[in-house]
Amino acid sequence: MSSRSATTSTTSKCPRLSASRSGTSVRSSPVAATGADADTLNPMSSSDRSRQPPTPTMEITLSTGEHYHVEGDAKDVERIILDAARGSIMQLAWLTEAETGQELAINPEHVVMLRTAGS
């Protein structure tokens, strides 16, 4: 067995290591982890996730008088609306509705007001 195949066979036991051209091991980023590896790679337990601060929510008012609560902070939501307004004809601003988690497409020309939603 050559030294190159020996290196490859020893590194194949560990999915996070791969053989480089020189025969030494290099660390690569894992694509997906399952089972026990997932717990090791994700140090945040479900209880840690519940302690994270809530996602900022913005209220958008349209010229029709409709109000929508969307996920994101003011600068991000404003950027999405402005990018759509500067884009091609009839490009919509795609946002995520805070209550349902569903995607929401808004015509940027109809946005009248953007403000932080009250808690």
pLDDT in tens, 75-85: 999 999 999 99
Q: Would you say the pTM of this structure is higher than 0.85?
A: no
d(CA 40, CA 6): 28
Tens digits of per-residue pLDDT, 67-112? 999 999 999 999 999 999 999 888 999 999 999 999 999 999 999 9
Beta carbons of 85 and 109 less than 8 angstroms apart: yes
- For 31, phi and psi rounded to 5 degrees? -85, -50
| Domains along the sequence of the chain with CATH | 3-50 (no CATH), 57-116 (2.30.30)
